[in-house]
Structure 1
Amino acid sequence: MTSDAAGRPTGRRAPTAPGPARALPASARRGYGLGSVATGSFGTVPGLLLLPYLTDRLGVAAGVAGLVVFLPKAWDVLLNPVAGRISDRSTHPGGRRRPFLLRAGLLLAVLFVLLFSGPTAPTGIATAWVVVAFLGCATAYAFFQVPYVAMPAEMTDDYDERTRLMTWRVAVLALAILVSGGLAPVVRDALGPTWGYRGVGLFVGALIAVGTLGAWWGTRTAPTSRAATAGGSLGDQLRVVASSREFRTLLGVFVLQALATGSMLAGVDYVARVLLGSPAASTVLFVCFVGPALLVTPLWQRVGRARGKRSGYLWGSLLLGLGALATLAAVPLGLAATAVTVAVVGVGYAACQMFPLAMLPDVAAADTARTGEDRAGTYTGVWTAGETLGLALGPFLYAGALTLGGYVSSTDAAAAQPASARTAIALGFTVVPAVLVALSLVLLRHYRPDREVAR
């Protein structure tokens, strides 16, 4: 029997169980993974450079700059579940999800170029430009990301195949983050103060467009399930999603870790310039943070197959937290030592991206198998809202640490900083993320063995 959005029996029979799951063609895995070029680029560069752009290019106070970065993302938190419900109800002949990728992704690319192309004076007008442009980016991103994340639950019913699909996605995501986050500061520094950030906008906008077109075209032949759209209002669907204990647990863990990584990303440029004394060190640290994922993601996939996704997620989270804590001791020793501990963080980060993204489709597909109704978009809408909230609060939290430490905002990036600001830069990059990851581990222990969830 199936149930309605409020969980009441409807009298309809659930669909019969699917037959043996077939492996997805490699072209579908690659095509889906290309979407991470767009999500990785947009998810990384604003968190890495938007706060420094505001504080050290436009001269905005750190606390106000933190709000500017946070508020458009807060709007996304409200919008993502709506975007998920809209895609759930789509009857487009091109499919429920893919048409959203093309339209929203290309719009996001254009808006990102505009984000860094506005006036730099006076400060009030320049700040308003950033707020409006970033709000537009956040809106377009919601209608790209939510349908994109919903697709794996509909592309395959196989537990291990979803892990393989996420392995491709995380590998491409790591490469996208490495390219966008590693080269964006290089582009900025090479073009100088006037054109540097505008060059970043053009560079990242092009990456987003490439990822969008690649995902849209590459998934054109991918199989999709045809379960009925879940009935009821958005509120009804949100209540059904909220009733899933596994989903609540997984979401809580992921949000805390997004908050941790968001804080670390926001601190990379400050650690490089102020503590290590070299703006170029930001690229080195970023490569060390993301680069390991290109090597270890296939190894984490093997761990997931042998020990389960939950176990792999636990081990990766431990590496993420311990590596962040060790970085506090490494920073005074110089760039080489810091790079090593940040690389440990990167190994854990790879697992903390791959496993939850492979576990989410298990939860959504289990709901569809139980009820006969597809609300994958609603699940992923709430999920991406939580992720967005964590990534938005990360820079806001880091900006708060800078404010408490007395960070001196100036249009001169080389402005001298007091000792308290230097301490705040270090703690926001190390101890704060480590504490957040420790809290996430407490939650993750309550998640059921994932093969039980996927049944």
Structure 2
Amino acid sequence: MEKIKIKEKIGYALGDTASNIAWRTLTTFLLVFYTDVFGISAAAAGLLLLITRLTDGVTDVVMGMIADRTNTPKGKFRPWILWTAFPLGIILSLTFTTPDFGPTGKLVYAYCTYIALTLIYTASNVPYSALMGVMTSDEKERTSLSSFRFAGAYLGGILTQGFLIYLVLFLGGGDENQGYQYAIYLLSAVLVVFLLITYSTTKERVVSPPSEKSSQVLDDLKDLVKNKPWVILLIVGFLFVTYNSIKQGITVIYFKRYLDNEMLAASYMVVLLVVSMIAAMVTSPLANRLGKRKLFIYVMVFSGITNGFLYLAQPGDITLVYVLGTLSEFGAGIMPVLFFSMLGDSADYSEWKNGRRATGLVYSAGTFAMKFGGGAAGAIIGFILAGYGYDGMDEATMAGAMPGIKMLMSWVPALITVPVVLVLLLYPLSSQQLELMGEELREIRASKM
């Protein structure tokens, strides 16, 4: 089995650095940008996030099928990374641009730019995610590649969550509207460069068997809904992304309003992201030792419990917030590494069982879970804040909103870990089964070459 060189793993990882410049900016800053800078109400912003993410889920599946049927000399998935690099950077910049419209005009502009952003993000990230499934057929090497990928993802988080607040202040000179625009323009340029590096340094190695090339859309969809590991991962993905997105989406508001120190949010998020990078890099050896399902269950329980204890933190308990947040994030940082590696395993399972491999369609579950879970998290945050009377443009509403902010930072996301664990107990692919399945697939592929 051909080992993937470190250079290629880093090149692939930079693609998720780029994706997370967009994704982390949206999950962490878009809601507070809409409510506190652009002037959209919390309820309207929460509904916007939910509606667009619900409709966007369909496009993930469609994009997965389109990518599976793309055939170019450069592969099925890599070309999409090239084709979408510049459009993604442009639309991200427009999303954080603040035209001087009235309330209705602002809402229409927000819907248009955000929907366009999610569509282009889908066209980029579904093929990017699926690329990992065809760079190697070895499940252990795939876990290693996933570790590199999410180390890159957390680097993207550091660039946005760690520096965006400072960039807004520095480039805006006190004008948040201008500061957000210039800061996002800069980060969008970095995003484009990293996507181009990913395209130029990666290679597709797993070739579809001849029988798959004539498969119909209906066949792929039938295989998908009968793929028990994939169905379970779809549910798990939605739930754990909702969990992580609530934690991320409330952080700036929590530090700004509850702890009364918005600038401290940047250093907090950087600490958490460094911990996440470490967690990503130790995932592969931990998974090899414990198995992916068992490790996923352990980190879900650990992260949820420690996050729930944040409810005990008072406004002056900065050290406690950092300690509990760091412990919770170590577990949270392992979750996506396992999830995307396990999606590759479910693609192998489909090929092993049905003789067809729809890698793009299988990995569309990942982007669907990210966007649907992120939308659900945004709606939960928006609706709870609205229920407690939060108005980002009115300081008089802050005292009444504090209980809602506090619960969103602690036990609301922690509750979501319970159904995740229950669903993971049903996941059928053990380490032994994966090894046997991998051996059989290599023999089948070799016989068809």
TM (norm. structure 1) is 0.90
Q: Pick the aligned partner of 2:377 from 379, 394, 405.
A: 394
1:12 alignment partner in structure 2: none
Measured against aligned partners, the alpha-carbon deviations of 1:168-216 in whole angstroms (never above 9, x if no partner) come to 1111111111111211122223323231110232133123212211211
1:403 alignment partner in structure 2: 386
Q: Is the 8 A contact 1:291 1:346 kept in 2?
A: no
CA distance in 2, matches of 1:29, 1:99: 18
Pair 1:244-2:231 in alignment: no
* Aligned residue runs from structure 1 range 261-272, under 5 A: 261-272=244-255
Q: Is the 8 A contact 2:126 2:360 kept in 1?
A: yes
* Aligned residue runs from structure 1 range 267-286, under 5 A: 267-286=250-269
2:291 alignment partner in structure 1: 308
Q: Pick the aligned partner of 1:99 from 79, 85, 90.
A: 79
CA distance in 2, matches of 1:242, 1:200: 42
Q: Is the 8 A contact 1:49 1:266 kept in 2?
A: yes
Pair 1:432-2:415 in alignment: no
Q: Pick the aligned partner of 1:63 from 43, 46, 69.
A: 43
SS at 2:397 equivalent: coil
Q: Pick the aligned partner of 1:188 from 168, 178, 185.
A: 168
Task: Note the C-alpha offset of 1:333.
Answer: 4.2
1:8 alignment partner in structure 2: none
With 160-169 and 365-374 compared, the bigger mean Cα shift is at 365-374
Q: Pick the aligned partner of 2:3 from 23, 42, 46.
A: 23
2:356 alignment partner in structure 1: 373
Task: Note the C-alpha offset of 1:419.
Answer: 3.7
SS at 1:291 equivalent: helix
Q: Pick the aligned partner of 1:141 from 95, 101, 121.
A: 121
Aligned-pair identity in percent equals: 21
Q: How many aligned residue pairs are there?
A: 431
With 435-444 and 114-123 compared, the bigger mean Cα shift is at 114-123
TM (norm. structure 2) is 0.91
CA distance in 2, matches of 1:77, 1:276: 35
Measured against aligned partners, the alpha-carbon deviations of 1:226-262 in whole angstroms (never above 9, x if no partner) come to 3344545434422321111111112211210111111
Q: Pick the aligned partner of 2:208 from 212, 216, 226.
A: 226
2:301 alignment partner in structure 1: 318
Task: Note the C-alpha offset of 1:22.
Answer: 2.4
Pair 1:213-2:173 in alignment: no
Unaligned regions of 5+ residues in structure 2, if any?
Answer: 438-449
SS at 2:391 equivalent: coil
CA distance in 2, matches of 1:399, 1:236: 40
Pair 1:352-2:335 in alignment: yes
Measured against aligned partners, the alpha-carbon deviations of 1:103-161 in whole angstroms (never above 9, x if no partner) come to 11321111111111231432222222221111111111111111111112212111210
Q: Is the 8 A contact 2:215 2:356 kept in 1?
A: no
Q: Is the 8 A contact 2:223 2:350 kept in 1?
A: no
Q: Structure 2 vs 1, CA of residues 27 and 370 (structure 1 numbering), >3 Å: closer, same or farther?
A: farther
Q: Structure 2 vs 1, CA of residues 449 and 84 (structure 1 numbering), >3 Å: closer, same or farther?
A: closer
Q: Is the 8 A contact 2:232 2:427 kept in 1?
A: yes
Q: Which runs of 4+ in 1 moved over 4 A?
A: 230-233
Q: Pick the aligned partner of 2:281 from 294, 298, 304.
A: 298
Q: Pick the aligned partner of 1:260 from 230, 243, 257.
A: 243
* Aligned residue runs from structure 1 range 192-207, under 5 A: 192=174, 193-207=176-190
Letter in 1 for 2:226: S
CA distance in 2, matches of 1:448, 1:232: 26
Q: Structure 2 vs 1, CA of residues 76 and 439 (structure 1 numbering), >3 Å: closer, same or farther?
A: same
CA distance in 2, matches of 1:49, 1:293: 19
SS at 1:223 equivalent: coil
Task: Note the C-alpha offset of 1:442.
Answer: 1.0
Aligned CA-pair RMSD: 1.8
Task: Note the C-alpha offset of 1:379.
Answer: 0.8
Question: Greater helix percent: which structure?
Answer: 2
Letter in 1 for 2:335: C
Q: Structure 2 vs 1, CA of residues 27 and 224 (structure 1 numbering), >3 Å: closer, same or farther?
A: farther
Q: Is the 8 A contact 1:253 1:444 kept in 2?
A: yes
Task: Note the C-alpha offset of 1:275.
Answer: 0.4
CA distance in 2, matches of 1:35, 1:393: 25
